Amino acid sequence: MERISWHQYFMAQSHLLALRSTCTRLAVGATIVRDKRIIAGGYNGSIAGGVHCVDEGCYVIDNHCVRTIHAEMNAILQCAKFGVPTDGAEIYVTHFPCLQCCKAIIQAGIKRVYFAKNYKNHPYAQELFKQANVQVEQVELNNALFQQLIEQ
């Protein structure tokens, strides 16, 4: 079996995290990495102990579910909660970050964003990433490698 790259490994982790999502509109996962080590992970869902979209539906205002915390924010907040620095880290996300997550990523000091799928890529988010010298790269998940694993 072919050994997967670091990008594929961390992106696979993000896709695995997305399976924990409680959002019925879009399942997103995020993995924060420093020095090739996972320091946090998150998925989009409600506050801990709160009502979830899968239970009562999405709470939509201005075409946006306000019940959920985005995967990127959950991962960043996990680092804050446990005192893990994010400065200079990388983040792997299943979908291009929204504008609010973009700003949080920049403020957290994350220097590289890898995403698998385009999703409403906001032009201002792209501009902010450039202004902050945050490298952004699309890394699609290579399903053929994972098919090999399943067949073993």
Catalytic residue ranges: 72
Comparing C-alpha atoms, which of 104, 102, 127 is closest to residue 115? 102
Output Rg (C-alpha) for the chain, integer angstroms: 15
Q: Identify the CA nearest to 141 among candidates 117, 121, 118, 119.
A: 117
Contact 67, 55 (CB under 8 A): no
d(CA 56, CA 29): 21
Instruction: List Cα–Cα distances, 119 to 103, 105, 131, 138, in angstroms.
Output: 16, 17, 21, 12
